[in-house]
Structure 1
């Protein structure tokens, strides 16, 4: 288990890597989006939230090295996958959600498309080398594979979001499972 900490404006965004998957601390995301009752927002909008304590039985927890940064109540933290982050963004009518959505769609995603990663520290890309092009293609294949692994409801939700923002359908472009 690994803790990754990022920042958006003055807010912490903590991500926990478990079993090769990324899970966001739900309260961090709900706070950033300006929900006044973060627990209610998580209950109403997140389909796949779970607490760390629910995920592991006591035998499994004994052998894990939990990040000390999480404090003593880490077992009660609600975690959400990326799909629930998007649900919180999409359901929010608050200005904070629009700022996050703009940041993701106008800064983060274009940077990932251009360079294959996103970093707070900007790196100048002079030209694409064959290796860089291969890495970008591999990243695109990984993204397409992850899209195709989503269940149909998640594909439609992501497709609708993408179509509303970019005017094109991912399902029409890449097809269904």
Structure 2
């Protein structure tokens, strides 16, 4: 209809590429030149390679610290000063507190006995309680009674028959506090 005031389109070269168009603060910059696409790809590639250096599941990862080998003293232990080490220490403290509390409950509700761990009489330092009675008292304190009992047995604070205790089935098993 009328005259076209726009000039005919021309091909952009790398040197005279238009400025990138921006579409607001939260949208990405749209680069239309080949040079811009190449730069964006190279930037992404460099960032990805740097990320892969720290990714423990990548084949490109180089351990930044010396990892202990099997047979060394620190093998299977978290790195010194790490968050994992701190969480382990905190868990150990909580479990130790629960074991002390369990021993106190056994002292309070149990009866003194003449058991020294080998079936002979001793001076009455041991205290015995049946599992059922202990379960009824301790269930209001913690829901981890059996796990705490197993840990206390491992530390030679208590002894009882069997590998595991089950509520109802093992209510008459005697638990002996040794200290």
| TM-score band, normalised by shorter chain | under 0.3
Higher helix share: 1
Which protein shows a greater Rg? 2
Higher strand share: 1
